[in-house]
Amino acid sequence: VTPHFLAKAGLGEAALEELTRCAVACCNEARNGFLAASQQAGAKTKRPLIAGSLPPAGATYCAAPAEDARAFYAKLVSIFSSAPIDVLLGETLASAEEALACLGAANESSLPLWVSFTLRDLAPGCEPKLRGGQRLASAVAALLEADRERRKLAAIIINCCAPATAGHALATLSKQLEGERDADGIALGAYANGFATTTSEWLGDGEGEGDRLLRQSAEDFDSATGVIKANRL
pLDDT in tens, 26-67: 999 999 999 999 999 999 999 999 999 999 988 777 777 888
Sort 127 into a burial class: Cβ within 10 Å, 0-12 / 13-18 / 19+: exposed
- State the greatest distance between any 2 C-alpha atoms of the chain, in Å, as a whole number: 50
- Structural domain boundaries enclosing 141: 49-230
Rounded Cα distance between 162 and 209, Å, is 12
Q: What is the pTM of this model?
A: 0.84
pLDDT reported for residue 63: 78
pLDDT reported for residue 61: 78
Is 128 in the same domain as 219? yes
- For β-strands 153-159 and 113-117, DSSP reports them as parallel
pLDDT less than 70: residues of the chain: 181-182, 194-233
Is 180 in the same domain as 130? yes
Is 141 in the same domain as 178? yes
pLDDT reported for residue 193: 80
Which CATH number do you get for residue 187?
3.20.20.330
Is 101 in the same domain as 39? no
**Helix (H) or strand (E) segment spanning residue 38:** helix 15-40
pLDDT reported for residue 116: 97
**Helix (H) or strand (E) segment spanning residue 24:** helix 15-40
